Amino acid sequence: AQSVTQLDSQVPVFEEAPVELRCNYSSSVSVYLFWYVQYPNQGLQLLLKYLSGSTLVKGINGFEAEFNKSQTSFHLRKPSVHISDTAEYFCAVKGYSTLTFGKGTMLLVSP
Amino acid sequence: DGGITQSPKYLFRKEGQNVTLSCEQNLNHDAMYWYRQDPGQGLRLIYYSQIVNDFQKGDIAEGYSVSREKKESFPLTVTSAQKNPTAFYLCASSADGSAQRGYGYTFGSGTRLTVV
């Protein structure tokens, strides 16, 4: 079975500060990992994904994530956030037929 | 441009009525999915379909029904048996849903259903 734990439900941060959103997973099949972003009243948009190869994955909007197999983690980072990054972020792992999502982390960026 | 269209964006229904949410994609994707989103609960899988004329229950299928008569379309019916239907519903599609492939999902913009 697959599961995803997002350790923080909310992360408040000031504009231009760095941020890390934490994600731990468990999976009994191949490890394919994803981060999605959701703005209010919208669908989810893919930020980045890890399929294989380099453990550091770069995505859109300056985000990156690091796959750590021994820690079963896939944390999302951005070195300097903008107000426009305020949104909910979801980590997901691919299972036999579907993606399993975490409960989400709300990133709140203030001036 | 290719994408997924969910309609309507907002839907209001009286308790006890069935309601159907539309989901259409022009991405030529084989697999389609319905998720329900409630505050603080993440996304929970209702139904999914890997191929036309076939679909499987997800984690919270009770009170819902689907059909997949065409590759492009995967409508979701919320029946009167669903005890708490008020939620945000998201439809998604994938080029290939199998575990061996690392395809992610493309999401629609969602339908917010309110039952009064």
The string of pLDDT tens digits covering residues B59-98 is 999 999 999 999 999 999 999 888 899 999 999 999 887 6
The string of pLDDT tens digits covering residues A54-104 is 899 999 999 999 999 999 999 999 999 999 999 999 999 988 788 999 999
The pLDDT value given to residue B78: 96
Distance from CA of A66 to the nearest CA of B (A): 17
Residues 6+ apart with CB under 8 A from A70: none
**How big is the CA angle at B5 (ends A3 and B97), to the nearest 5 degrees?**
35
Let me know if B68 is exposed, middle or buried by CB neighbors in 10 A (0-12, 13-18, 19+): buried
The pLDDT value given to residue B99: 60
Q: What is the mean pLDDT of chain A?
A: 93
Q: Is the peptide bond before B8 cis (omega within 30 degrees of 0)?
A: yes
Q: Does A42 touch chain B (CB under 8 A)?
A: yes
Would you tell me which residues 40-59 of chain B have a C-beta closer than 8 angstroms to some C-beta of chain A? 40-43, 45, 48, 50, 56, 58
Q: Does A60 touch chain B (CB under 8 A)?
A: no
- Distance between CA atoms of A40 and A60, rounded to whole angstroms? 19
The pLDDT value given to residue B100: 65
The string of pLDDT tens digits covering residues B3-22 is 999 999 999 999 889 999 99
Distance from CA of A1 to the nearest CA of B (A): 12
The pLDDT value given to residue A79: 97
Nearest CA in chain B to A94: B99
The pLDDT value given to residue A72: 94
The string of pLDDT tens digits covering residues B24-60 is 999 999 999 999 999 888 899 999 999 999 999 999 9
Of the candidates B35, B48, B102, which has its C-beta nearest A97's C-beta? B48
Distance from CA of A27 to the nearest CA of B (A): 11
